[in-house]
Amino acid sequence: MTIESTVATLGPGTFRSPLNLRQIDDAVDDGGFVVEGTRVRFDVEINPDHPDSDLLFEKAGARELLYFNPATVRAAIVTCGGLCPGLNNVIRSTVFALHHNYGVRQVYGIRYGYQGMNPAEGEPPMLLEAEQIDRIHQEGGSILGSSRGNQPPAVMVDFLVKHGINILFTVGGDGTQRGAHQIVEEIRRRGLTIAVAGIPKTIDNDIQYIRRTFGFTTAVDKAREVLTCAHTEAKGYPNGIGLVKLMGRDSGFIAAAAALASQDANFVLIPEIPLTLAGDNGFLAALQRRILDRKHALIAVAEGAGQNLFSGEKIKDASGNLLHQDIGLFLKDVISRHFKEQQIPLNLKYIDPSYIIRSVPANSEDAVLCDQFARNAVHAAMAGKTDFIVGFWNSFTLLPILMATAKRQQVQPNGFLWRSVISATGQPARWG
Amino acid sequence: MTIESTVATLGPGTFRSPLNLRQIDDAVDDGGFVVEGTRVRFDVEINPDHPDSDLLFEKAGARELLYFNPATVRAAIVTCGGLCPGLNNVIRSTVFALHHNYGVRQVYGIRYGYQGMNPAEGEPPMLLEAEQIDRIHQEGGSILGSSRGNQPPAVMVDFLVKHGINILFTVGGDGTQRGAHQIVEEIRRRGLTIAVAGIPKTIDNDIQYIRRTFGFTTAVDKAREVLTCAHTEAKGYPNGIGLVKLMGRDSGFIAAAAALASQDANFVLIPEIPLTLAGDNGFLAALQRRILDRKHALIAVAEGAGQNLFSGEKIKDASGNLLHQDIGLFLKDVISRHFKEQQIPLNLKYIDPSYIIRSVPANSEDAVLCDQFARNAVHAAMAGKTDFIVGFWNSFTLLPILMATAKRQQVQPNGFLWRSVISATGQPARWG
Amino acid sequence: MTIESTVATLGPGTFRSPLNLRQIDDAVDDGGFVVEGTRVRFDVEINPDHPDSDLLFEKAGARELLYFNPATVRAAIVTCGGLCPGLNNVIRSTVFALHHNYGVRQVYGIRYGYQGMNPAEGEPPMLLEAEQIDRIHQEGGSILGSSRGNQPPAVMVDFLVKHGINILFTVGGDGTQRGAHQIVEEIRRRGLTIAVAGIPKTIDNDIQYIRRTFGFTTAVDKAREVLTCAHTEAKGYPNGIGLVKLMGRDSGFIAAAAALASQDANFVLIPEIPLTLAGDNGFLAALQRRILDRKHALIAVAEGAGQNLFSGEKIKDASGNLLHQDIGLFLKDVISRHFKEQQIPLNLKYIDPSYIIRSVPANSEDAVLCDQFARNAVHAAMAGKTDFIVGFWNSFTLLPILMATAKRQQVQPNGFLWRSVISATGQPARWG
Amino acid sequence: MTIESTVATLGPGTFRSPLNLRQIDDAVDDGGFVVEGTRVRFDVEINPDHPDSDLLFEKAGARELLYFNPATVRAAIVTCGGLCPGLNNVIRSTVFALHHNYGVRQVYGIRYGYQGMNPAEGEPPMLLEAEQIDRIHQEGGSILGSSRGNQPPAVMVDFLVKHGINILFTVGGDGTQRGAHQIVEEIRRRGLTIAVAGIPKTIDNDIQYIRRTFGFTTAVDKAREVLTCAHTEAKGYPNGIGLVKLMGRDSGFIAAAAALASQDANFVLIPEIPLTLAGDNGFLAALQRRILDRKHALIAVAEGAGQNLFSGEKIKDASGNLLHQDIGLFLKDVISRHFKEQQIPLNLKYIDPSYIIRSVPANSEDAVLCDQFARNAVHAAMAGKTDFIVGFWNSFTLLPILMATAKRQQVQPNGFLWRSVISATGQPARWG
């Protein structure tokens, strides 16, 4: 496998970093200046039957030489797409790292996503001062606001030029980062020296080559609470079924992790495992056996599960995400009809927690992660890296945007996480 | 006003209470044996322009003389209707008060509501032993399970007779308690000496003459969390609206209190205040003004609000509650259509937390309340009171079932709670 | 009993209230203008053996005629003494009620308690603008800061005069309110027309004639969490004892309510029940029996419990509160020594949650209470009432400061709350 | 570096695993049977100036061939040392993996740590049945109980022999695991075929070669809550200082991560960074500057910090851990004295949350981790591995006990975590 994983730069560093660090060449003691050329392995295993992977990532961290003179940096930050726990932490740590560590005083917040970079559509940016934003990490959401969809790259680059921005931080998922890459291309076309630094935001944890993104464990915490409620409802009535729809359009990480944390779910349905309803090895027969045996059942279904059951044309939202048929309501109907046909009385409680999962403040784990993603984005941008997003794979890394957004990260059907879910739920590994 | 508020008894007390208390005749120092005949005022005000109310309640509390010999009591407890925070606390404190305070060893739990009193439908009862149920108050739901709807009174009394039950504790709302009264009538018809003691369960806090029922403040806590999420979503997008449907079929106490606690809601819609959509003084115009002025809005709507907008025949559920049109989805559509017509872009997020509000464990306030409702039910039942529910109005009271269930308690449109909501939200006091 | 419970006024109302209410003379429908002269009963019981109490309170609520012209009001608010959940809610609702409901625009926040009214000691006051303080109710503590102790009344009245303040809201406990009364006396001496409106703040719920103060149920929630932790520790080791010190200098309400909510405590020690350690009926023998019988025990001790065991001179803090000997550490030592003497191995875990209990944001119940206390203080002050604190006893009331601070409210040893604790813990009603 | 990292086995596998998996030779798709000989890299970096580390770990996971016949396995599990969030999850998942996945029916719980393996000291073991322990993961603590200290290895092996135990799971920290190694040595001496499988339990996250242990993030969550309280107290009074003592005897991970998550701490004191109090570059001068500048400060101190300030002989507890001087109380005194000498008024609030941090249920992240540690311990033990503990370093691993317990894991003074703390707090990187 040969993947081009080296990140683009605006040019060599010429300013000495104001950070008071020393060169570090030690794998563990890794808080100093990173030696250029340091790589992080994708594959940590040595297997008798299996050659090593060639895939290596660029290591994130502070650089001794900066491309940008901190005194002349005007930075801007934009948050796009769906809300995610930790957005305010990321905004705050980006501003604080620029301000306190690099001495950059001009940091702007762009209002309501890319919309705020189009003067015809949005509101003007706001100056972000350290004192004013000191408490924002304790609230959910984004103080900048967000929106879905991109704006014309030329318009957005005009905006950057007009406001004298030379570093743009884009916080968003793969649609947002593909938009960021278009901005980079327009910047290149015009020969400008503006860095575009991506911070990955995906509550579903579905960006390739990034093991963990911020907001995910907070979402799992909330999803687990909802599963507990649904379990209580299911046990509270004869033949009670709790059916909970969780986030996860293309990847079932939230459903899988929440089920594993709660240990109460009997069935976890995720996009990665095709769903078969009918037949002896189908979902409905398994559910019926469970109800007849134990009188209650709990089902966690990721919103992108069972899409194989739907046919017809696909629809996309403003960010370019496929819009799915509502598997939750579909299952609610199918299950009700099945038990009616079988003349088995049923108490089905359907819960769609929707925005409750994503609008809460970050838990501690995510708060730490946000701080580290933000600081690494600042380090790399000050060093002149561009067209990248910060990654995390055994260590913090830097990834070319196109590499990270080429494919979605998914739950491996034969991997340890899914095997654990199978063990914890007792459900079959495959349907049909 | 003359209301018959004296509770029925099976007969005079002849057994000395095993409780080590003394007669108490002091309003504050009220933990001793209650003197029979003590009453609690409904009306605590003395108003120059207004005569005192005649309405007096019977005071709850331990009695010195018991009708039942603790050695021969076989009690049973049943939980009916929707889940409510604190059901397990009530079960546990009822068993513990009977067991530890009165020495009653035979307490049965009836499975899945009144269904468990019909051998043709339900499962056999379970013996509730103190040791086994010691931790149940830390979990939501009901360990006994619940169900909606009543069973034939004759069948239920047969069940009591067959199992030798002489005290039945019915935990439920007004449908359940009307069912309990039918059991009492059947008991009377047969000349049996079985006491039926009601413990009011209404998460909506809508039973007449009872200021506070258990589960309510826990529900408000959870509802407030959801309002905070919706507020975050509303502020997170241009022209963002958070629309939250809360419990409250006939009474808007949860929506009102949660809005007051959160202070974030701009509009609170409750069943007690008829809803007008159109016109300058209508809801849609007010919402539009808010959005144009502040760019975000938060709406809390009780499930029973705006029913004046629907016509046609009413449908009831198995417990006899009116089934409402779904005001939440209705408003979601109406609002979306209105802003589309006005060509104002909108980001509307609809949240229906449903079962998440009611299936959590009781908070401290409710936990204490559960303990006190349960103990008062036990005191009264041991003294031979029957056909009553425990109330709380300035003090714990006993109410004839028919009196409590005659009418629903509602938010007073001119009362202090609703005035506070008007002040906190800034919404008009009336629509249209 | 004849107690002077009528609140002082600066003079008759002459300005029509801007509130859009009507006269209300109905006990339930109580959100309109209160008719002057309306009283609230202290005693709600009618008892065959016991005459009615004469004690009546003045009813709180909006008045139709105001003493102050809203256009000329300059108000100030000060928070004093220990932190308490809900202080920011009170500050916010006071400002919002003045601003949005009465049209008062000049509201000042005094920094760090009464210290901020002494220019030689403190910082200048800050203007409180509605927009700026919109989110403060979501944080614990007081944005104004607090401090213990009073300042010379003459200095504080000079401060009010200098800043043109004509309404002062004092949020604090009995020491603070006694200080407020001294301010009133100095105002009277000088013939000024400045109203002093007290809002009671006591996390211990120990102000006389006020059934419930804000912050209390939040403190109970947190205290219950700590009891659960201590119970877990106690059960986790052979002969494990969890010993938790809770707030409650003179009144054991927090310890009693938290024990009742958790149902895990085996011993609750409060100031109202003298503690005897030695002897067969003493605490140590009871604890030893429990440990030998069940192998674990949980003790909740209020900080003011067992003071009868200490002799010698009493010390007071800056607010005039008696400083107590540390009963927690004392019991830790005494218990350890006792079991050592008895040669019974022991695992004693001592927990002093201290400030963790009081510095959290208000729960929903307290948030609502804060809003209502604040609004009632504003209503009364605008009507020219002075030298009062807002109370709550069956309804919101107004109390002369001296009446409320004359004595502490305490847990009644024969009352329902303590009887419930005795029932839930199984401990003896009295020691020795 | 050549470290012997291969784990001991009782012998080759001869029984086919009942798990329905296939051989997996893919780094990502890692949930199948692990090929014997697969290794996991310690060092994931490739650095131009730095050779690769030789250190490789054995990969954990299910093996195709088992040493033990599931039909004849009698397993036991023991929890030792301090409580830690997740103990019940580990117990439950160990039993469930044995029961549901391998068909082992006889699993015993040993009471109160190693004490329960000494009949002269402890109570008899209890049979752990799947149904009975189904809800235990929702409670903190350990249902088995725990204790400190080891018992004579010969006595413990006698216990295993007497009860026919052939797999012992030891859940505990390095003291416990060194005890487990002594058991292994005694087993070897006697030529027995009993496997000893360690599951690492260290809330401080301080076991070498294990990046993350269960309970840690839950502890950080709780510690962050306490820091927030202390920050509120500090800001609430003039010259307010919040001083919080956190867990961390030898390693400051909890203090560092909680400070990073809260972003409120101004000073984090950990064992890894020697503390200097006096002098211009000392802690007291820095604290004084902060107070004079900002009027409030928050200090998080790990219990093992500043031990360089104490001299004299060291004391150990029953588990062999060094007992430290109480740095929290020491700092409280030193700071108070310093500000008194400087005649700067001070409001110092000291908080020692102690057991509150460790006795709560596991959060979602830890719940998942517990499940995975437990399942990997079961997989390895069934395959005949012994004298090991399960590790986690980029992937789940198996470590010889002696290797893991040879040294403590600590915060790297030049590492990324500590650099982040320095950036977030603004405190100097070194004292003095």
Same domain, A257 and A376: no
**Taking the CB of residue D182, how many other CB atoms lie within 10 A of it?**
19
Average pLDDT, chain C: 93
Cβ–Cβ under 8 Å, residues A412 and A259: no
Q: Structure tokens of B14?
A: 């002849």
What are the tens digits of pLDDT across the range A8-62? 999 999 999 998 776 544 444 566 889 888 999 999 888 877 777 789 999 999 9
Distance, CA of B393 to CA of B57 (rounded, Å): 9
What are the tens digits of pLDDT across the range D98-124? 999 999 999 999 999 999 999 999 899
Same domain, B260 and B335: yes
- Residue linked to tokens 């500000």: D339
Indicate the pLDDT class of residue A2, thresholds 50, 70 and 90.
Answer: very low
CA distances from D219 to C61, C377, D29, D171, D242 (A): 47, 42, 31, 18, 19
Taking Cα atoms as reference points, which of A176, A110, A202 lies closest to residue A401?
A176
Same domain, D207 and D239: no
Q: Structure tokens of C62?
A: 């909006």
Which residue on chain A is closest to B87 by alpha carbon? A236
Report pLDDT for C27: 46
CA distances from D172 to A93, A171, C372, D302 (A): 37, 41, 52, 21
Chains touching A (at least 3 CB pairs under 8 A) are B, C, D
Same domain, A172 and A271: no
Which residues on chain D are in Cβ contact (under 8 Å) with A27? Answer: 42-45, 47, 50, 53
In a domain, residue D407? The reply is no
Report pLDDT for D1: 42
Report pLDDT for A324: 66
What are the tens digits of pLDDT across the range A106-164? 999 999 999 999 999 989 999 999 889 999 999 999 999 999 999 999 999 999 999 99
Share of residues in chain C with pLDDT > 90 (%)? 82
Residue D319 structural domain = 216-358+413-425
What are the tens digits of pLDDT across the range C248-257? 999 999 999 9
Which residues on chain D are in Cβ contact (under 8 Å) with B135? Answer: 139
What are the tens digits of pLDDT across the range B145-170? 999 999 999 999 999 999 999 999 99
What are the tens digits of pLDDT across the range A72-103? 999 999 999 999 999 999 999 999 999 999 99
Helix (H, G, I), strand (E, B) or coil at A33: strand
Report pLDDT for D365: 96
Same domain, A86 and A134: yes
What are the tens digits of pLDDT across the range A315-338? 666 666 666 689 999 999 999 999
Quick one: how far is CA D213 from the chain centroid? 5
Report pLDDT for C54: 82
Q: Rounded to the nearest 5 degrees, what angle is found at the Cα of D13, between the Cα atoms of D9 and D15?
A: 145
What are the tens digits of pLDDT across the range B194-215? 999 999 999 999 999 999 999 9
Which residues on neighbouring strands pair with residue D302, listed in sequence order?
D246
In a domain, residue C222? The reply is yes
Which residue among A112, A146, A233 places its CB closest to the CB of B359?
A233
Which residue on chain B is closest to C396 by alpha carbon? B416
Q: Can you list the positions of beta strands (E) in C105-238?
A: 106-109, 126-127, 167-172, 195-200
Report pLDDT for D30: 63
pLDDT for D26 beyond 60:
no
| Alpha-carbon gap: C178 to the closest alpha carbon of chain D (Å) | 21
Count of structural domains within chain B: 2
Q: At what angle do helices C364-382 and B216-236 cross, to 10 degrees?
A: 80
Task: State the pairing for strand pair B33-34/B23-24.
Answer: parallel
Which residues on chain B are in Cβ contact (under 8 Å) with A318? Answer: none
| H helix intervals, A383-425 | 401-404, 416-425
HSE (CB half, 13 Å, CA atoms) of A377? 35
Query: B311 CB contacts (<8 Å, ≥6 apart)?
Result: none
What are the tens digits of pLDDT across the range C87-121? 999 999 999 999 999 999 999 999 999 999 999 99
Which residues on neighbouring strands pair with residue B315, listed in sequence order?
B323
Report pLDDT for B1: 42
pLDDT for B193 beyond 70:
yes
CB contact A395 to B (< 8 Å): no
Same domain, B195 and B319: no
Same domain, B345 and B262: yes
Task: State the pairing for strand pair A56-59/A39-41.
Answer: antiparallel
Report pLDDT for A27: 45
Distance, CA of A236 to CA of C56 (rounded, Å): 47
In a domain, residue B401? The reply is no
Query: B243 CB contacts (<8 Å, ≥6 apart)?
Result: B230, B299, B301, B328, B331, B332, B335, B348, B349, B350, B351
CB contact A364 to D (< 8 Å): yes
Residue type, D394: N
Q: Structure tokens of C351?
A: 């927990």
Cβ–Cβ under 8 Å, residues B191 and B96: no
Indicate the pLDDT class of residue B324, thresholds 50, 70 and 90.
Answer: low
Report pLDDT for D318: 67
Query: D330 CB contacts (<8 Å, ≥6 apart)?
Result: D306, D309, D310
The residue-averaged pLDDT of D351-379 equals 96
Report pLDDT for B29: 54
| Alpha-carbon gap: B312 to the closest alpha carbon of chain D (Å) | 47
Indicate the pLDDT class of residue D27, thresholds 50, 70 and 90.
Answer: very low
Distance, CA of A175 to CA of A389 (rounded, Å): 13
Indicate the pLDDT class of residue D160, thresholds 50, 70 and 90.
Answer: very high
pLDDT for B25 beyond 80:
no
Taking Cα atoms as reference points, which of B40, A168, A384 lies closest to residue C45?
B40
- Residue linked to tokens 């590790």: D391
Distance, CA of D137 to CA of D142 (rounded, Å): 9
DSSP string, B63-129: -SEESS-GGG-EEEEEE-SS--TTHHHHHHHHHHIIIIIT---EEEEPSTGGGGG-TTTSPPPEE--
Which residue on chain B is closest to C411 by alpha carbon? B29
Cβ–Cβ under 8 Å, residues B390 and B398: yes
What are the tens digits of pLDDT across the range C122-157? 899 999 998 899 999 999 999 999 999 999 999 999
CB contact D119 to A (< 8 Å): no
Indicate the pLDDT class of residue D313, thresholds 50, 70 and 90.
Answer: low
Annotated catalytic residue: which of B29, B49, B134, B204?
B204
**Taking the CB of residue B367, how many other CB atoms lie within 10 A of it?**
29
Indicate the pLDDT class of residue A1, thresholds 50, 70 and 90.
Answer: very low
CA distances from B299 to A374, B180, B351 (A): 34, 38, 10
The residue-averaged pLDDT of D144-151 equals 95
**Taking the CB of residue D407, how many other CB atoms lie within 10 A of it?**
13
pLDDT for B26 beyond 50:
no
In a domain, residue A350? The reply is yes
CB contact B54 to C (< 8 Å): no
The residue-averaged pLDDT of B11-17 equals 94
Report pLDDT for A118: 97
**Known catalytic residue: B174?**
no
Same domain, D382 and D247: no
Which residues on chain B are in Cβ contact (under 8 Å) with D139? Answer: 135, 138
Same domain, A60 and A85: yes
DSSP 8-state code for residue D425: H
Indicate the pLDDT class of residue B31, thresholds 50, 70 and 90.
Answer: low
In a domain, residue B400? The reply is no
In a domain, residue C206? The reply is yes
pLDDT for B382 beyond 70:
yes
pLDDT for C227 beyond 90:
yes
Average pLDDT, chain A: 93
| Alpha-carbon gap: A395 to the closest alpha carbon of chain B (Å) | 32
Share of residues in chain B with pLDDT > 70 (%)? 94
Is the backbone of residue A398 left (phi > 0), alpha (psi -120 to 50) or beta? beta
DSSP string, A232-281: HHHHTSTTEEEEEEE--SS--HHHHHHHHHH---SEEE-TTS----SSTT
Burial class of residue A429, CB neighbours in 10 A (0-12, 13-18, 19+)? middle
Q: Structure tokens of D167?
A: 């797999």
HSE (CB half, 13 Å, CA atoms) of B295? 10
Taking Cα atoms as reference points, which of C359, C360, B356, B244 lies closest to residue A351?
B356
Quick one: how far is CA D30 from the chain centroid? 25
Indicate the pLDDT class of residue C2, thresholds 50, 70 and 90.
Answer: very low
CATH at B280: 3.40.50.460
Helix (H, G, I), strand (E, B) or coil at A365: helix
DSSP 8-state code for residue B50: B
Is the backbone of residue A390 left (phi > 0), alpha (psi -120 to 50) or beta? beta
In a domain, residue C431? The reply is no
Q: Do A139 and C138 touch (CB under 8 A)?
A: yes
Distance, CA of B416 to CA of C61 (rounded, Å): 8
* Residue ranges of C 22-41 with Cβ closer than 8 A to chain B: 22, 24-32, 35, 37-41
pLDDT for C292 beyond 60:
yes
Distance, CA of A119 to CA of A159 (rounded, Å): 8
Which residue among A30, A363, A420 places its CB closest to the CB of D371?
A420
Higher pLDDT, D34 or B30: D34
Report pLDDT for C35: 87
Q: Can you list the positions of beta strands (E) in A187-239?
A: 195-200
Query: In this complex, how many residue pairs, one in chain B and one in chain D, have their CB atoms less than 8 Å apart?
Result: 5
Taking Cα atoms as reference points, which of A200, A201, A168 lies closest to residue A187?
A168
Same domain, C186 and C238: no
Report pLDDT for D25: 46
CB contact C266 to B (< 8 Å): no
**Taking the CB of residue C36, how many other CB atoms lie within 10 A of it?**
15
Annotated catalytic residue: which of A25, A30, A43, A204?
A204
pLDDT for D2 beyond 70:
no
Same domain, B173 and B190: yes
In a domain, residue C399? The reply is no
CA dihedral D352, D356, D362, D366 (to 10 degrees): 10
Taking Cα atoms as reference points, which of A149, A81, A90, A163 lies closest to residue A121?
A149
Average pLDDT, chain D: 93
Report pLDDT for B122: 87
Indicate the pLDDT class of residue B429, thresholds 50, 70 and 90.
Answer: confident
pLDDT for C24 beyond 70:
no
Taking Cα atoms as reference points, which of D21, D371, D391 lies closest to residue A260?
D371
Cβ–Cβ under 8 Å, residues A199 and A90: yes
CATH at A36: 3.40.50.450
The residue-averaged pLDDT of D266-289 equals 96
Which residues on neighbouring strands pair with residue B59, listed in sequence order?
B397
Q: Structure tokens of C73?
A: 């009001």
Q: Do B140 and A354 touch (CB under 8 A)?
A: no
Distance, CA of B186 to CA of B154 (rounded, Å): 6
Distance, CA of A128 to CA of A134 (rounded, Å): 10
The residue-averaged pLDDT of D292-307 equals 96
Same domain, C253 and C321: yes
- Residue linked to tokens 């011993």: C267
Which residues on chain D are in Cβ contact (under 8 Å) with A429? Answer: 20
Is the backbone of residue C22 left (phi > 0), alpha (psi -120 to 50) or beta? beta
